[in-house]
Amino acid sequence: MSLGGLALPGQGVLRASPEVSLSEKSVIFLFLHGGPSQIETFDPHPEAPVETRSATGHIPTALPGVQFGASFPKLAKLADRLAIVRSYVPGDANHDIKPVVCKETAGANLGSAFARMEGGNHPATGMPRNIALFPRCVEPTAQAEQRGFGNFLSPGMFGAAAVPFVPGGTGQFQKDMKLALPVDRFDDRRSLLTQLDRAKESLDQSQQSGHDIGRDKACRMLLGGVADAFDLSREDSKTIARYDTAPLVRPENIDKKWKNYNHYCDNSKTLGKLLLLARRLCERGAGFVTVTTNFVWDMHADVNNATMTEGMSYMAPPLDHAVSAFVEDLEARGLSEKILLVCCGEMGRTPKINGKGGRDHWGNLGPLLLAGGGLNMGQVIGRSARNGGEPNSDPVTIKHLVGTVMNTLFDVGKLRVVRGLPREIQQMAEADPIPNLFGRG
């Protein structure tokens, strides 16, 4: 049983601290690579001059007096189930992969800190605890993940067992996770292996014990339904159709003059199914799932990227459709308390539209959406200045976002008593969360 190189060892700091219970919640981080505009998404500034206000217009939402960009009608109807942060400050205007991997996460994928604490795999199901999903995980013909702006799979100083696990749509993992034997013959071979190990026990007790742990975990994964979780064909066909974003933006309707043409296509083909797969994995024990499509939100209106209006026509419908399907699906399944969705990019866009009809890089303000996790939804947190380019209230930073994730996944008060707690994780856990999301606000 090769298991495609899956890292089975690594028990995690909390396994040695029974006084601190393991997390019962999960986080899905949807990273909008390229830097989406805060104005065309969830803060349209309809009262601003034409060169500043949303180029795609604005619409009312389920929250009185709150408006979204007109490209998000489905999310507007669900605004009472979302938390929109309008004072989120990414910190700089660089193309990178913050806040998923940045100095505030000790240079590691945020999920790697989680895996360092809880172990590489769920103790009961064997499901990898930290997973990264790229377009090829659901569509083999999609492009490879973007690697030019940072390493989504960086474990930082947390070790190899904390590296995010990446499945492939037709990769070796899925092949290795399928039994080539009937279950009864498989059980017979497990019994034989156990007898052989007992015979060797007197020779090397410690090594035998380690092999037992790894093999038993692998067997639990094969027989415990983990492989099914990665197989979207096992999902109800109506649910697959509800999430599917491929029909929304057809390749023939995307202008091929843009160098990012294939990125736009991949985003439409895969975004909905990636979120559906992420939900399935969290149901079965994943704790942190990074989801991203390729570099598509960089709407300069240059040789690579479309204008704001055209670019949003490619990008907004899949995001609106996929996230709304996800929010409604969580509620229907009773998972709104268990799974937190975080959506943002590495930066925002300039308050003024440039001469070509695009917006350029901007680090002083960016969009941030959260849903679920048992947190206080149905609110707008913070305000932006009249020009849509800076906070007009207390800024929410990456450190606040990291603190929010840590407070969702852990009882951070109890982490202080954990033996062997890495200093970097302690600093992440001590960061204040975004105001008003926890407790009674």
At 355 the pLDDT is 97
pLDDT along the chain (441 residues), means of 10: 42 63 85 98 97 98 98 98 98 97 97 92 89 96 92 95 82 51 54 55 50 55 72 96 97 95 96 98 96 93 96 98 98 98 98 97 98 98 96 95 96 82 92 92 49
What gap in Å lies between CA 268 and CA 286, rounded to an integer? Answer: 25
How far is Cα 61 from Cα 302, in angstroms, rounded to an integer?
Answer: 32
pLDDT of residue 197: 56
The pLDDT value recorded for residue 171 is 43
Question: Quick one: which of 222, 304, 225, 292 has its CA closest to 262?
Answer: 304
Domains identified in the chain and CATH numbers: 10-173+230-430 (3.40.720), 178-228 (no CATH)
DSSP letter for each residue of 122-191: -TTT--BSEEEE-GGGT-TTSPPPP-TT--TT--GGG-GGGSPB---TTSHHHHHTS-SS-HHHHHHHHH
pLDDT at 22: 60
| DSSP-based three-state secondary structure for 6 | coil
Q: Which two tokens stand for residue 162?
A: 């904390």
